[in-house]
Amino acid sequence: MDTEAVRSFVRAAELGQLQHAADELDVTQQAVSKRIAALERELGVRLFTRTGRGVELTLDGQAFLPHARTIVTGADRAVTATKPGSRALRIDVLGFRSAQAVILHDYWRAHPGTELDVVTLRVDDPRQAAAAIQAGELDASFRTITGTLPSDLRMVPVFDSPLELLTGPSHPLASARTLTPAELRGHRIWVPGIAPRSEWAVFYDQLTTAFDLRLDAAGPHFGNEVLLDTIADSADVATLVGARDRYVWPAGYDLRRIPISGPVLAYPLSLLLPRENPHPGLRAIIDHFRSLTPPPADTWRPVWT
């Protein structure tokens, strides 16, 4: 099985766009399409269906995806293992469209020789990520432990990610160029799927208490596409997103990302890493994050910072 075809399938599945996958893999969209078509012929099934927004997994594609990720990870580790004195930095991000991943990708583009193995554990409890670091399965994770930190780990603050309000065109706040937290009061802010014990559960609890906001966490999170569909069609539902989070939607949705200031609301990003003998590549990544322009001095942050 062609591992590059499998890699192209995985990135297209995670990004939802063949062109985005091609950009990350530094090949043409035609090359990605040919690789996936060859993989579908080999497997004898259709892996994607095309939509107006890009591509979506078929049921067979959904079944194949976790195994495909294992194939890609195994191939990358096998190559790394053949290089004397070389070991890729394995780092966990909350999601491949998150600010952490976007900034990390910017770093890699500026330093393309860096050996990176970027993964997402897809766990809500940060202590599960901490356990993976302690077991040697990860070198670091962009997670925050809001309680007692294990003695053999460090948690390094690296960047405060400002929040924006994301609305559809018919929302009452859609025409605003900027908003204050006070102007958000009374408006329904939908953040589905907030998991107990997650750092974002603590964050939103403190945020809504501090500014008396109306946060709706009802329902499971069916993915960004469902969230964006709902917001585009609604006159009263909005959500909060990070200023550097990457979202893609059809032009007809006319969604609005509105900065919040007075004060800026910031989600603090931290990096968990071993206290002793961390991977030598982490220092440059921490420096890169800390070199980014910080929010203003009056920025609101949760109390754990």
What's the pLDDT score for residue 84? 40
Number of folded domains in the chain? 2
Query: Do residues 178 and 235 share a domain?
Result: yes
**What is the b/e burial string over 183-205, where b = at least 16 CB atoms within 10 angstroms of the residue's CB?**
ebeebebbbbebeeebbbbbbbe
- CA dist 117 and 87 (Å) reads 10
- CA dist 214 and 92 (Å) reads 31
Query: Do residues 119 and 185 share a domain?
Result: no
Question: Binning pLDDT at 50, 70 and 90, where does residue 86 land?
Answer: low
Question: Binning pLDDT at 50, 70 and 90, where does residue 80 land?
Answer: low
Domain of residue 152, CATH code? 1.10.10.10
Tell me, yes or no, whether 184 lies in a domain. yes
What's the pLDDT score for residue 57? 93
- pLDDT of 59 higher than 70: yes
Query: Do residues 193 and 121 share a domain?
Result: no
Query: Do residues 113 and 28 share a domain?
Result: yes
- pLDDT of 85 higher than 70: no
Query: Do residues 138 and 283 share a domain?
Result: yes
Q: List the beta strands (DSSP E) in the chain.
A: 48-51, 54-57, 89-92, 116-119, 140-141, 153-167, 188-190, 214-216, 237-242, 256-259, 266-274
Tokens 């964050």, residue?
A: 203
Tell me, yes or no, whether 149 lies in a domain. yes
- CA dist 192 and 187 (Å) reads 15
* Tens-digit pLDDT profile for residues 219-250: 777 888 889 999 999 999 999 999 999 998 99
- pLDDT of 81 higher than 80: no
* Tens-digit pLDDT profile for residues 182-211: 999 999 999 988 888 788 999 999 999 999
